[in-house]
Structure 1
Amino acid sequence: MTDLTTSATNRRTLNTQDYKTLGLAALGGALEFYDFIIFVFFSLVIGHLFFPQDMPQWLSQVQTYGIFAAGYLIRPFGGIVMAHFGDLFGRKRMFTLSILLMALPTLLIGCLPTYQDIGYAAPLLLLLMRLCQGLAVGGEVPGAWTFVAEHVPKHRIGLACGILTSGLSLGILLGSLISTLINMVFEGESMNTWGWRIPFIVGGIFGFLAMYLRRWLKETPIFIEMQQRKSSETVKRLPVLIVLRDHFPQTLLSMLLTWILSAGIMVVILMAPIYLQKQVGFSAMQALQANTLAIIGLIMSCTLYGALMDRFAIGKVFIVGSLIAVITIGCFYFSLASHPQLLFVTYPLAGFGVGVVGSFAYFMVKAFPTEVRYSGVSFSFNMAYAIAGGLTPLLLSIFTDLFNKLAPAFYVVSLFSLGAVIGVVLLCSQHNYIAKDFD
C-alpha cells in the first residue's frame, strides 16, 4: 500500500502548495541574490568612494574586487555550518535565517561612511559587511535547491530547480534594472553622495520582507519522514564528513559544474557591463540595457533547461546546452570588435546560452541522499564558488587590462566546453552518480 501511495505521489503534477513553495522560495532567493550582487553593479563608484583619491584606478578596482571576492571566500564556512544544522534539524529554519543574515548587512552598507569620512576604517567596515553577506548566501542557494527538490514530485525536480534558478536570476535582473534607473536619475556628485546608497537600502528592506514571507513555508516532507526513522547514532555524525567519505565522485562533479556556473554568471552576466564600458567603449546606459536583455534570456533559458531535465537524460542536456553556450558566448565576445552594433542581439543570445546552468542543480540535488543532501550540495557549491567566483573577477580584470581583452571569452568558452565533457561522462554512467532515494 505504501509503495502504491508513493508511486501516485511521484506521478502527480505540481499542485497549489508546490507553486506556493516555489514562489516563496524563488522570491526570497531573488531578493537575497539581489542583495549579494548589487555590489558589482556599483563597483566603480564604490572603488572611488572607499579608497584614497590618489590611488590608481586599476588598483582601486582590484581592491574593490578583492572585497567583493571576500564575500565568496567566506561562503564555504557559512554554507557548511548552515547545511550541517539544516541536515540535522530542518531545512526551513536555516532557509529563513539566511535571509536575516543577508538583509541586515546589505542595509548597513547603504549607511556606511566613506573613506573621506573615516579613512581606512571605511573599506574595513565594507569588508566586514561583505563577509556577513557571504555567510548568508552560502546557505541560501544550496538550501533553496534542496528545499524545493524535496517538496515536489520526483519527475518535476528539474522544472522546480529550473524555476528556482530563474528566480535567483531574477535577483540579478532586479539589480540590473535598479542600476539602470539609478544611473538615469543620478550622475556626478549626486551619485557619489547618496545615489549609490539607495539600491543597498532598498535591498535591505526587501530582505526583511522576504524573511517575513518565508514564515509561510513548511518543512519538507522528505526531511520529516527521514527524521522519524533516523537513529540517535546517525544524528551525531558530521554530515559533511559523510559526504567526503562516501560521495566524493558526486562532490567532484558538482564542484566542476559549479565552476562552470560561476563563470557563466560572474563573467557573462555580472562583469560584462563593466567590460563593455572599459574595453569596448559603450556607455553605462547601453551596457546596462543590453545586460537587462541578457538576464531576461538567462531567466527564460534556466526554466527551459530545468524542464528538459525531467524529459531527457542528464548527459544529453549537458552536452547540447553546453555547446549552445560555447557558440552564443563566443559570438558575443568575438563580434564586439568588428560588429559592435549587434550588441543587443549577441548579448541576449549569450545570456540564453548561459541558462544551461539552470539544469546543474538537478544533478546536484539527486547526487546526494536525503541524510546529507543539504551538506553535499552546500559543500560542493560553496567550495567551488569560493575559489572560482571569488578569484575570477580579480584575475580576469588583471589579465584583460594587461594581456588580452578577450581573456573573459577564452575562459568562459573553455569551461562550457568542459560542461560538454561532463555530459559525455554522465551519459555513459549516469546511474553511478545518482542517490538511490532519487534514482
Structure 2
Amino acid sequence: MSQTDRPRPSQAMRVGAAILGNALEFYDFTVYAAFATWLAKAFFPTDNPNTSLLLAVATFGVGFVARPLGGVLIGAYADRFGRRPAMTLTIWMMALGSGMIGLLPTYDQIGTLAPVLLVLARLLQGFSAGGEMGPATTYLLESAPAHRKGFFGSWQLASQNMGSLFSGLVGLLLALLITPGATDSWGWRVPFLLGILIAPVGYFIRRNLDETLDTEEAHDSIGGVLSDILANHWSKVLLCILLISGGTITQYFFLYTTTYAINTLHYSQSWSMATSFATFISGTIFALVGGALADRYGLKTVAIVPRIIVTLLLYPALLLVVSSGSPLVLVITSATLIAFHAMASGAGIILIPMIFPAIVRTAGLSIAYALGVTIFGGTAQLVFTWIIGATGDKLSWIWYVIIMSIISLLATLAIRIPEELNRKQETSSSGTALAGASS
C-alpha cells in the first residue's frame, strides 16, 4: 500500500510514534548513567573506586563524541529524504549499541578488549542519539496544529524523561528483586538487554507515518543541506548551542543524582533509584505543563521564567539535601527542582527549530543540539565527579550548573523567531503551519 493509500494517522498516533521511539532511544542512552557504578566495576577495575568511576563516566562521555556526526549526517538526511526514514534508521542503530553493552564480556574475562568494545558500543549509541532528536522533534512540530505547537513540541523533552524514568524503574526493580551481589555479577546487564526492544517496537510504530517534509522544496543532496547551514545559518547554530548548554547540564545534574547519592552521600541503591524514579515522573509531567503554558503565554516567557527559578533554587536546595542527611529529602528536592527545569526546557527546545527554514530545520536543530549536548552534557558527569573529588566539597559542583544556566538564559533572551510563529494562537488550525514557515 502506498503512503497516499494509507489512512491518515491521527494526531495521537503521530505524537505517539515520535515520542515512544525517542523515549526508548533516551532510555538506552541514559541507562548507562544510572548504572555507571556497576559498569566501573565490570570494565574498569582499579584499586581506587573513584578512579574506576571516573573512567566509567568518561566512557559515558565518549558516546557524545559521535553525537555531532550523527546530528550532522542524519539531520541532513532527514532534510533531504524525509523525517520518517531518518527516525527509522536511528531505531535500529541504538538497539545494536544497547545489545552490545548487554552482552559484552567483562574486564576479568577478556582484559583490555572489554573497555575497548564498550567504547565502540557507546560511539554507536552516540551516533544514533545524535541523529534521533532532530527528526523526532521536527516531526512533532510539523505535525502540530499551529495553536498547539508548544504542547506537541514539549513531548520531545517529556519523552526523554520517560526514557530516563524507565531506566530508573528498571534500576529500582532490580534493587528490590535481586541482591547487590547479583547486580554486580549479571544484573547490570538486564537494562541494556531490554533496550534491544527498541528496534521492532520503533520500526512498527513509525513505518506508517505521513511525511511532513515537502520533498519538492528540499535540497537535491545532503551536501546542499549542509552548505546552506554553513553559508546562511551558522550564527543561529552557535546561539542555539549556548541556549542548550545550561539546559543539558541541568538535565545531567538530575541524571547524576543516582551516582551522587550512592558514591557521595552513601545512600542505598534502593533510595538512589527511587530518587531517579520520582525525579523523572515529575520531569515528564512538567515538560508537558511547560508546553501547554507556552501555547498560552508565549514560548520565550515559559522558557525563561522557570529557568530563573530553578537557577536560584539549585544551591539552597542541594545544601538542604546534604545537611539533612535524609534520602527522602533528596527525593522530594530533586522532583521539585526538575519541575521548573522541565517547564523551561519543554518550551526552550521548541525555539530552536522555529528559527530555521523548513529545508534545513532538522539539520539546524540536530547540529546545534548534538554539539551542545556533546560539549556540555557529555562532559557534565566527568566535571561533576572531578570537582567533588578535587575540592572535597559535596556542594562545589552545583556552581558549575548555576553558571551555565545563566549563560543559557542570556542565549534564550537573544533568540528571535518569526512573529507569526511566536504570537499566541487564539484559533485552531488543522494544517502543518510550521512545516512551510520561513521556507
Q: What TM-score comes out, normalization by structure 1 length?
A: 0.89
Q: Deviations over 1:131-150 (max 9, x none)?
A: 11111111111111011111
Cα distance in 1 for residues equivalent to 2:299 and 2:290: 10
Greater CA drift, 115-124 or 404-413: 404-413
Q: Which residue number in structure 2 is paired with residue 34 of structure 1?
A: 27
Contact kept? 2:275, 2:334, Cα under 8 Å: yes
Please tell me whether residue 165 in structure 1 is matched to residue 150 in structure 2.
no
Query: How many pairs were matched up?
Result: 415
Q: Identify which of 179, 187, 204 aligns with 1:212.
A: 204
Q: Deviation at 1:423? A: 4.1
Q: Which residue number in structure 1 is paired with residue 277 of structure 2?
A: 292
| Counterpart mapping for 1:35-434 below 5 A | 35-52=28-45, 54-220=46-212, 223-224=213-214, 227-230=215-218, 235=221, 237-267=223-253, 269-341=254-326, 342-355=329-342, 356-403=344-391, 404-426=393-415, 430-431=417-418
For residue 216 of structure 1, give the secondary structure of its aligned residue in structure 2.
Answer: coil
Amino acid paired to 1:382: A
For residue 406 of structure 1, give the secondary structure of its aligned residue in structure 2.
Answer: coil
Cα distance in 1 for residues equivalent to 2:123 and 2:222: 29
Cα distance in 2 for residues equivalent to 1:393 and 1:20: 35
Q: Deviations over 1:161-183 (max 9, x none)?
A: 11232122100000000011112
For residue 401 of structure 2, give the secondary structure of its aligned residue in structure 1.
Answer: helix
Q: Deviation at 1:430? A: 4.7
Cα distance in 2 for residues equivalent to 1:107 and 1:417: 38
Cα distance in 2 for residues equivalent to 1:270 and 1:34: 12
For residue 407 of structure 1, give the secondary structure of its aligned residue in structure 2.
Answer: coil
Greater CA drift, 293-302 or 119-128: 293-302
Contact kept? 1:182, 1:195, Cα under 8 Å: yes
Contact kept? 1:149, 1:161, Cα under 8 Å: yes
Cα distance in 1 for residues equivalent to 2:125 and 2:290: 29
Contact kept? 1:70, 1:390, Cα under 8 Å: yes
Q: Which residue number in structure 2 is paired with residue 10 of structure 1?
A: none
Q: Deviation at 1:109? A: 1.2
For residue 311 of structure 1, give the secondary structure of its aligned residue in structure 2.
Answer: helix
Q: Which residue number in structure 2 is paired with residue 8 of structure 1?
A: none
Q: Provide structure 2 residue ranges, at least 5 long, that are not aligned to the other structure.
A: 1-7, 423-433
Cα distance in 1 for residues equivalent to 2:354 and 2:147: 12
Contact kept? 2:299, 2:348, Cα under 8 Å: no
Q: Deviation at 1:408? A: 2.9
Q: Deviation at 1:111? A: 0.9
For residue 216 of structure 2, give the secondary structure of its aligned residue in structure 1.
Answer: helix
Cα distance in 2 for residues equivalent to 1:161 and 1:238: 27
Cα distance in 2 for residues equivalent to 1:420 and 1:50: 39
Q: Deviation at 1:229? A: 4.2
Backbone CA RMSD of aligned residues: 2.2
Contact kept? 1:314, 1:423, Cα under 8 Å: no
Q: Deviations over 1:317-376 (max 9, x none)?
A: 222111121134334312123234432322210121220211122101101001100110
Cα distance in 1 for residues equivalent to 2:381 and 2:321: 20
Cα distance in 2 for residues equivalent to 1:44 and 1:176: 14
For residue 182 of structure 1, give the secondary structure of its aligned residue in structure 2.
Answer: helix
Amino acid paired to 2:208: W
Cα distance in 1 for residues equivalent to 2:375 and 2:404: 15
Distance 1:344 1:188, change over 3 A: closer
Cα distance in 2 for residues equivalent to 1:207 and 1:331: 43
Q: Deviations over 1:209-264 (max 9, x none)?
A: 222222122211xx13xx2245x7x5475323322321233212211122122112
Amino acid paired to 1:405: K
Cα distance in 2 for residues equivalent to 1:335 and 1:90: 49
Distance 1:95 1:334, change over 3 A: same
Cα distance in 2 for residues equivalent to 1:77 and 1:214: 23
Cα distance in 1 for residues equivalent to 2:332 and 2:199: 34
Contact kept? 1:315, 1:430, Cα under 8 Å: no
Q: Which residue number in structure 2 is paired with residue 18 of structure 1?
A: 11
Cα distance in 2 for residues equivalent to 1:19 and 1:91: 17
Q: Deviations over 1:94-133 (max 9, x none)?
A: 1100000000121121111111110000101111111111
Cα distance in 1 for residues equivalent to 2:271 and 2:225: 47
Q: What TM-score comes out, normalization by structure 2 length?
A: 0.89
Distance 1:119 1:147, change over 3 A: same
Contact kept? 1:318, 1:419, Cα under 8 Å: no
Amino acid paired to 1:395: V
Greater CA drift, 211-220 or 298-307: 211-220
Amino acid paired to 1:421: L
